[in-house]
Structure 1
Amino acid sequence: MPAIPSFAEEQQLWSQSTMAVAGLDEAGRGPWAGPVYAAAVIFPAGLDASKLHGLTDSKLLTRTARDRWFEVIKSLAAGFGISKTEAEEIDRIGIVPATKRAMLLAISQLASCSHILCDAMSFNPIDFLLLPPAQQAEVSHLINHQKSYVRGEQISLSIAAASVLAKVSRDREMCQLDERYPRYGFSRHKGYGTREHQQTLLRYGPCPLHRVSFKPIKQLLEVGL
């Protein structure tokens, strides 16, 4: 049974007068098509956790629940940021740097941030070079104020909240992109490597949303589709 996230990690920092604690997570690292999204969420220090009862890893929530939590999180948050890296950039720099770039851009949208709690990702000095100089200056201090967790969405409510904002934002964009590229069924599989997606790729070949550096797409291109 999945663990229930809490404010335990945040409270340790709040008790040390570190108030602007951001949860950070991504959505869309694995799909074959579309952008990778990231979100950062800061809740007011001391927020009553009961107001977030039932919030957990976005992947464990139904679509209806995610949509509801999306609005609740935005209404309760002291601040949040949502960003993305497009497929073309993913192909250029790789999925891990692209994910970190989206995360750092999301953080840069916050009015202030003292510490980050991140799901399964940590940052080193070279990662900040993924940003324009002005934004590097805004977030580079966090190199010494970060903590990473395995399955962080099931530990920290701030990370769980970020996972919801990132996933809902990405899913909604993939539904919009489905209207532009209706052959591929993006509104159903969101770019993941489902059987339906594989079959449409074999029939039509990749579209501009596909990550051509990913092995399944690269193999299709190599055989001339």
Structure 2
Amino acid sequence: MTIKEIKELLNNGVSEEEFAALKNDPRSGVQKLLTTYKRKQELLLKKKEQFLSRFQYERRFWKNSQLVAGVDEVGRGPLAGPVVTAAVIIDENFDLIDVNDSKKLSPKRRLELYPKILEKAVSVGIGIKNAQVIDEINIYEADRLAMAEAVKNLDRKPDALLVDAMDVPIAIPQIKLIKGDAKSNSIAAASIVAKVFRDKLMDDYDALYPQYKFSKNAGYGTKDHLDALNKFGPTPIHRKSFEPIKSMLN
């Protein structure tokens, strides 16, 4: 086979016997391909092992045929826009090994995973609390209420919740995990869903208020955003209890 043909063969995956046979090929180009292939396989195996290890909390409930939902949020820190939460129930058949803490994934990868999560999940619920609610009851309490809303919007009631460092005001047993999106695939899936959903909302707000560049900053206090605030003042989606907006209005 030509080196190009061998490269295509490796891209499609080879058996141990085929790999062993290729190792006898004296061409340096083939040996470089094999080295790269082996490294990729080792990284893939490590990723699969890490993915399987992130089911440790879910398995406690699955072994008793119980449903458990992962819950996470995005948008606590921005100056504008809502806080968005997601609750996601997955089962033993969930096999999206690239699902991980949304902050570790590129925007492109999150967008690719979003519809796949919706397809593979047993149930997905979204919760949203806008700037007015945040100003009225504070961001922490708004976040908690949004999480409860996400759980209530599931079309299957979970027996328990896995929550990223929060407690949800709902009468369902909960396990609070610090940095839970790196420890639980359910929470990681929820973090991706919430992030993509909120980013789309901020893209829509960008069309309404283009001077603030919400599609680029997602409502966070970047220089462009702060410059626009100083020039144009706050919009209805800005959080008036957050600085520097609070001082602008006094």
TM-score by length of 2: 0.77
User: 1:12 and 2:42 equivalent?
Assistant: no
In 1: Cα distance, 2:98 partner to 2:114 partner: 13
Residue number among 50, 74, 77 corresponding to 1:30 in the alignment: 77
Task: Give the partner amino acid of 2:171.
Answer: H
User: 1:189 and 2:189 equivalent?
Assistant: no
In 2: Cα distance, 1:4 partner to 1:55 partner: 11
Query: Any residues of structure 2 matched to 1:39-118 within 5 Å, and which?
Result: 39-44=86-91, 46-48=92-94, 51-110=95-154, 111-118=156-163
TM-score by length of 1: 0.85
In 1: Cα distance, 2:65 partner to 2:193 partner: 23
Q: Once the two structures are superposed, what CA deviation does each residue of 1:136-175 show, in whole Å capped at 9, x if it has no partner?
A: xxxx431xx1011111000000000000000000000100
User: 1:165 and 2:210 equivalent?
Assistant: no
Identity among equivalent positions (%) equals: 41
Task: Give the partner amino acid of 1:13.
Answer: F
User: 1:220 and 2:216 equivalent?
Assistant: no
- In structure 1, runs of 5+ residues without a counterpart are 128-139
4+ residue stretches of structure 1 with deviation over 4 A?
none
Aligned residues of 2:80 and 2:220 also touching (Cα < 8 A): yes
User: 1:208 and 2:236 equivalent?
Assistant: yes
In 2: Cα distance, 1:18 partner to 1:119 partner: 23
Aligned residues of 2:90 and 2:122 also touching (Cα < 8 A): yes
CA RMSD of aligned residues (A): 1.4
Aligned residues of 2:205 and 2:214 also touching (Cα < 8 A): yes
- In structure 2, runs of 5+ residues without a counterpart are 1-48
> 1:119 aligns to what?
164
Give the CA deviation at 1:194: 1.0
Give the CA deviation at 1:70: 0.4
Aligned pairs, number: 199
SS at match of 1:141: coil
Give the CA deviation at 1:203: 1.1
Give the CA deviation at 1:41: 0.3
In 1: Cα distance, 2:247 partner to 2:104 partner: 32
Q: Which has the higher contact order (CA 8 A, sep 6+)?
A: 1
Task: Give the partner amino acid of 1:12.
Answer: R
> 2:171 aligns to what?
141
> 2:24 aligns to what?
none
Q: Rg bigger for which structure? A: 2
Aligned residues of 2:61 and 2:67 also touching (Cα < 8 A): no
